Chain A
Amino acid sequence: MAINKVEFGGRTLIDLTDTTATADKILTGYGAYGKDGVWVDGTAVVQHYYTGTSTPSSSLGSNGDIYLKVSS
């Protein structure tokens, strides 16, 4: 059973009960302990989107990114 709070001598040593970390708020590749004391692996994916008036260069961005070509 996971531990999410540790008290000793009337003092709170560790308290995870108010943490707001959830999988969808943690980037993929990172992790944190949830409010129930269980480790959570991140699932959030972040891509970039760009805007410009010409065709995007092949060196710009990463796979999954979006480019919005706007009127000049």
Chain B
Amino acid sequence: MATVRLVPSSYTLSNSSYLSVSNASNMYDNTDSTNYATVTNSRTSTTSYYIYLHGFDFSQIPSAAVVSSFSVKLKAYESGVSTSSSYKPYLVTSGSTSTSTYYGYCDVITTSATTHTFTLNCDWADLVAEGNNLSIRINCRRSSRKTTSYVYIYGAEIEVNYTVPTSRTITTTLSGEGTIDPSGTTSTYDDQEFTLTITPTDKAASVSATYNGTDITSQLVAHGAETSASTVLGSYTLVSGGFNGSGASYFSGIEGNGENASTTSSNYYSSGSSTIAVFTYDMGITIPSNATVTRCYVNVSGHAESTSNSSEYMCAQLISGSTELTEELNFKDVGTSNTIQTLECTNIPTPAQLANAQLQCRLGYYGGAINGATLYVEYDVSSGTIDHYTYTFTVSEDATIAVTIGSVVIQNTFYRKVTESSWSELSVTTVYKKVNDAWVQQSDWTTAFDPNTNYVYSSS
């Protein structure tokens, strides 16, 4: 295991008119430092002014490293600075003055040089994503107007413990007509995912492969030639009577026709009773039965009648039979203004489930208005013709993958008459026909030739 201590390399002041820094380079050190930089607040006010320490060099950590732990520390002391816990140092995005969005914090700086360890509420990936914007924010606020405040910063660090996996070499070779990707030698590491793509020139060719001499042909995954990713719009505009369910007698009003909700209560769905009323809107749509749905979500437009009481609120959810396709939307969370909320399918529906999709709404004493709902589906459909193969594995050793693409089996024998009395046999492996200025491989040779057309041989 390796350890690195990243230190700041730059700083920013929230107000350079009132804050100044001397011996700044002293704070570009870790918390072992015995020299400090001095931050002076010259404003005769108890206003918060900040110094941001940033520029932690995350590139010191190898890209393949697995981080096991990390910590953030600051060594400093103060004079004349407010020691209220409200003004403690935070780990933030550079320039941020928010105290509600942060990655961590530590205890307030005291009058004696102390190394403070931050309490963190983030993942390592969060810090890396911030990069140079990741900052330790120190408040230099005066404790009183007339007392100049100083913050003495010795240094700060992000200590990272990590391991680097063993490096590996994967060699891929090809025999036959086609391409492989990657081809040749690839450097990688243990636990990395490696995918080899094999694309034969002749789609009917046989494909086989070995991994360090062991046959892996059965583990090759075939992929179709054509896939389509389509977005299908299934929309439903709520209209009078456009629902079915229990408790209809409790409805005091009906919203509909995709218009914005009126603020008058008569246009709301509300039961006026503690009885929970349930009603559903049919939203089924039809997609190919062999489609693979990759994403499904419904946008619901509406708002709550009120959010100021604890009674049951109107909720909406996409269902199919007894299957809940999305989480439940509580209109109390939406508020009393009309907005569009997106309900993402946590259970990806099948084409059969989509055909029976419904928007189920439940409401109690206080309800809300729903103007409309729109269902979106993204799916893939394979043509069924094999286009290429892939082989994926987790790296754990050096390996050689040898791919063999075989010759296409001759499907038919062609003969060409070369003289009045002799025919020449042609060992044809593939038939192409030119269509729309491009040569297209023919899967059915028997239909490639037009019986009403005369064909003349030409040398190519």
Closest approach, in angstroms, between the C-beta of A37 and any C-beta of chain B?
Answer: 27
Question: In the bound complex, how far is the Cα of B449 from the Cα of A68, in angstroms?
Answer: 11
Whether B393 is near chain A, meaning CB under 8 Å from some CB there, is: no
Residue of B nearest to A71 (CB): B427
Question: In the bound complex, how far is the Cα of B458 from the Cα of A59, in angstroms?
Answer: 14
Main secondary structure of the interface of B (DSSP, over half): strand
Closest approach, in angstroms, between the C-beta of B220 and any C-beta of chain A?
Answer: 23
Within 8 A of B (CB), among A16-72: 44-52, 55-56, 58, 60-71
Question: In the bound complex, how far is the Cα of B428 from the Cα of A47, in angstroms?
Answer: 19
B453 and A64: CB pair below 8 A?
yes
Whether B125 is near chain A, meaning CB under 8 Å from some CB there, is: no
Question: In the bound complex, how far is the Cα of B454 from the Cα of A44, in angstroms?
Answer: 7
A58 and B437: CB pair below 8 A?
yes
When distances are taken between beta carbons in the complex, the residues of chain B under 8 Å from A49 are 455-458
A67 and B460: CB pair below 8 A?
yes
Closest approach, in angstroms, between the C-beta of B374 and any C-beta of chain A?
Answer: 44
Question: In the bound complex, how far is the Cα of B434 from the Cα of A29, in angstroms?
Answer: 21
Residue of B nearest to A46 (CB): B454
Question: In the bound complex, how far is the Cα of B86 from the Cα of A38, in angstroms?
Answer: 106
When distances are taken between beta carbons in the complex, the residues of chain B under 8 Å from A61 are 434, 439, 458
Whether B232 is near chain A, meaning CB under 8 Å from some CB there, is: no
Whether B145 is near chain A, meaning CB under 8 Å from some CB there, is: no
B437 and A45: CB pair below 8 A?
no
Whether B435 is near chain A, meaning CB under 8 Å from some CB there, is: yes
Given A48-B458, A70-B426, also A63-B435 (CB < 8 A): yes
Question: In the bound complex, how far is the Cα of B58 from the Cα of A36, in angstroms?
Answer: 93
Question: In the bound complex, how far is the Cα of B448 from the Cα of A33, in angstroms?
Answer: 33
A69 and B429: CB pair below 8 A?
yes
B459 and A64: CB pair below 8 A?
no
Q: Which of B416, B436, B450, B460 interacts with A56 by CB under 8 Å?
A: B460
Whether B431 is near chain A, meaning CB under 8 Å from some CB there, is: yes
Whether B201 is near chain A, meaning CB under 8 Å from some CB there, is: yes
Q: Which of A46, A51, A56 interacts with B453 by CB under 8 Å?
A: A46
Given A48-B458, A49-B457, A52-B460, also A70-B429 (CB < 8 A): yes
Closest approach, in angstroms, between the C-beta of B129 and any C-beta of chain A?
Answer: 46
Main secondary structure of the interface of A (DSSP, over half): strand
Residues of A within 8 A of B (CB-CB), count = 24
Closest approach, in angstroms, between the C-beta of A46 and any C-beta of chain B?
Answer: 5
B427 and A64: CB pair below 8 A?
no
Residue of B nearest to A60 (CB): B460
When distances are taken between beta carbons in the complex, the residues of chain B under 8 Å from A46 are 453-456
Which of A48, A58, A67, A70 counts the most B-chain CB atoms under 10 A from its CB?
Answer: A67
Question: In the bound complex, how far is the Cα of B428 from the Cα of A70, in angstroms?
Answer: 4
Given A67-B460, A69-B428, also A62-B454 (CB < 8 A): no
Closest approach, in angstroms, between the C-beta of A61 and any C-beta of chain B?
Answer: 5
Closest approach, in angstroms, between the C-beta of A56 and any C-beta of chain B?
Answer: 5
B434 and A45: CB pair below 8 A?
no
Within 8 A of A (CB), among B421-453: 426-439, 448-450, 452-453
When distances are taken between beta carbons in the complex, the residues of chain A under 8 Å from B428 are 68-70
Given A69-B430, A70-B428, A71-B429, also A48-B439 (CB < 8 A): no
Question: In the bound complex, how far is the Cα of B430 from the Cα of A48, in angstroms?
Answer: 16
Question: In the bound complex, how far is the Cα of B429 from the Cα of A56, in angstroms?
Answer: 13
A51 and B429: CB pair below 8 A?
no
Residue of B nearest to A59 (CB): B437
When distances are taken between beta carbons in the complex, the residues of chain A under 8 Å from B410 are 71
Question: In the bound complex, how far is the Cα of B71 from the Cα of A32, in angstroms?
Answer: 95
Residue of B nearest to A27 (CB): B454
B433 and A68: CB pair below 8 A?
no
When distances are taken between beta carbons in the complex, the residues of chain B under 8 Å from A55 are 201, 432, 439
11 other A-B residue contacts (CB within 8 Å) besides A45-B453, A52-B460: A45-B450, A46-B453, A46-B456, A48-B455, A51-B426, A56-B439, A69-B428, A69-B430, A70-B428, A71-B410, A71-B429
Binding site for A on B (CB under 8 A): 201, 407, 410, 414, 416, 426-439, 448-450, 452-460
